[in-house]
Amino acid sequence: MSERSYSYSRQEINNDDIRSVTRVLRSDWLTQGPSVERFERDLSSKLRAKHVSVVSSGTAALHLLGLALGWRPGDLVITSPLTFLASANCILYAGATPDFVDIDPHSYTIDIGRLRDRIEEKKKQGKRVKAVVAVDYAGHPCDWKSLRELADRHGFQLVDDACHALGAKLGGDIGYAARFADAAVLSFHPVKHITTGEGGAVLTNDSRLDETLKILRTHGVTKNRAIMEKSDGPWYYEMHDLGFNYRITDLQCALGSSQLKRLDRIVSQRRRVAEYYDRVLSSADVLVTPGVSQEVEHSYHLYPLQVKFESLKVDRKELFERLSKKRINCQVHYIPVHLQPYYRKNYGFKEGDFPEAESFYRREISIPMYPSLGKDDLKYITTSLLESLEVQAFHQKGGKR
Ligand SMILES: *Cc1c(COP(=O)(O)O)cnc(C)c1O
């Protein structure tokens, strides 16, 4: 039996990472230096996006992107209720109005049919949708081809919150995010595929959007002669927009570039963990393993397992307690955003508005998912889970009770 403890996710730091960071510490540039541009170039070539702006967090990336896309009070922006708060909060930062469209129960990403209905319903009320923030939940890309068609037909902006989906592929393409969406957002928080401690990025093929983002991340200040009203000398700069200090440091970017080199291995190890879970857990009637659509190569930021607690004696709280005694600490992703008091009180959402996301929430647990989990760890985790649930599963392929 293993004596290690497990959480739903954890970072992986190696000696190359440490050397990369210490090299920057001894250099002249702790911030605004060459490691920032290098990380942007590395991301750009790995993910086939023409432009990349790295910033201090995924949330900062979403904030700036909403502003750069020109979201204003009165604009309607739609996202999925099954996401981290930041995907929806960025709509509020811009003063725009948030709305949600329920998830598809197979892929757990935004439901295209329901989205089409919602847009048409709004159209009849004389309201136009400004943008859709679609979330590649758990690392499963949305139906981006359909989203692009809808966006072109109705003229809304398309944002990919790809914070879960670094390294995922759609139709074999790792660069689907910048290809289909107007812009995509990444996070480098330690629970994500690669980390910079805190950090985020916006990917886009739109050069003007990227220029705006780079100005907004550093106080709205420009030194670009083509934009400036005049130039008094080499010290001179102008502020044309209200920006922020959302810069990321060279220390962090050096770590990011070092980690990014291992992305392919990280994703294939995560996929191997998922294969094990799929095989062992899918034979238990009370468990639903995550669905994967055709054309999709899932990158498994999370392994969202659904447990039919309604047909068990054990409830989720009890399960969490039993697992925690075995040093396995799971999480739940996510409490649907529209059920947060802030969203209910200020925007009038209520329980029952998005039944698929709500029923998913009631059943979901995120079990440990990270590259360093070995066969023994996985065996310990799945055995402990099944014991705690007081159910059995056949471990061989195709096994049924
Ligand atoms: C992590 C995450 C973010 C925000 O990232 P931070 O870097 O933590 O600010 C946004 N959206 C989703 C879906 C995320 O998982």
What is the structure's pLDDT at 381?
A: 98
Locate the domains of the chain by residue range.
Answer: 6-260, 264-389
142 Cα: distance to centroid of ligand 1 (angstroms): 17
- The set of residues, in sequence order, having a beta carbon less than 8 Å from that of 360 and lying 6+ positions away, is 82, 103, 105, 108, 306
Contact 396/361 with Cβ under 8 angstroms?
Answer: no
Q: Is the per-residue pLDDT at 4 higher than 90? A: no
Contact 138/292 with Cβ under 8 angstroms?
Answer: no
Contact 64/209 with Cβ under 8 angstroms?
Answer: no
164 Cα: distance to centroid of ligand 1 (angstroms): 8
Q: How far apart are CA 201 and CA 186, in angstroms?
A: 5
What is the structure's pLDDT at 91?
A: 98
* Model confidence band, residue 397 (pLDDT cutoffs 50, 70, 90): very low
pLDDT in tens, 221-272: 999 998 899 989 999 999 999 999 999 999 999 999 999 999 999 999 999 9
188 Cα: distance to centroid of ligand 1 (angstroms): 8
pLDDT in tens, 118-163: 999 999 999 999 999 999 999 999 999 999 999 999 999 999 999 9
What is the structure's pLDDT at 395?
A: 56
Mutate to test the pocket of ligand 1, among 63, 83, 164, 189 (most ligand atoms within 8 A of CB): 189
| Closest of 88, 95, 154 to residue 120, by C-alpha | 154
Q: Using a 6 Å CB cutoff, which residues line ligand 1? A: 57-59, 83-84, 86-87, 135, 161, 163-164, 187, 189, 200
Q: State how beta strands 238-239 and 129-135 pair.
A: unpaired
Mutate to test the pocket of ligand 1, among 62, 84, 192, 302 (most ligand atoms within 8 A of CB): 84
Query: What is the number of the ligand 1 atom nearest to the C-alpha of 200?
Result: 7
Q: Is the per-residue pLDDT at 198 higher than 80? A: yes
Share of the chain above pLDDT 90, in %: 95
Query: In CATH, what is the architecture of 264-389?
Result: Alpha-Beta Complex (3.90)
Mutate to test the pocket of ligand 1, among 85, 87, 252 (most ligand atoms within 8 A of CB): 87
pLDDT in tens, 281-320: 999 999 999 999 999 999 999 999 999 999 999 999 999 9
What is the structure's pLDDT at 394?
A: 66
Q: Is the per-residue pLDDT at 180 higher than 80? A: yes
Q: Has this prediction a pTM greater than 0.85?
A: yes
Contact 142/136 with Cβ under 8 angstroms?
Answer: yes
What is the structure's pLDDT at 23?
A: 98
Q: How far apart are CA 307 and CA 336, in angstroms?
A: 17
User: What is the assigned CATH class of domain 6-260?
Assistant: alpha beta
Mutate to test the pocket of ligand 1, among 87, 163, 334 (most ligand atoms within 8 A of CB): 163
86 Cα: distance to centroid of ligand 1 (angstroms): 6
Tell me whether the CATH fold assigned to 6-260 matches the one assigned to 264-389: no
pLDDT in tens, 53-73: 999 999 999 999 999 999 999
Q: Is the per-residue pLDDT at 398 higher than 50? A: no
CB atoms within 10 A of CB 223: 13
Share of the chain above pLDDT 70, in %: 98
Average pLDDT over residues 208-220: 98
300 Cα: distance to centroid of ligand 1 (angstroms): 15
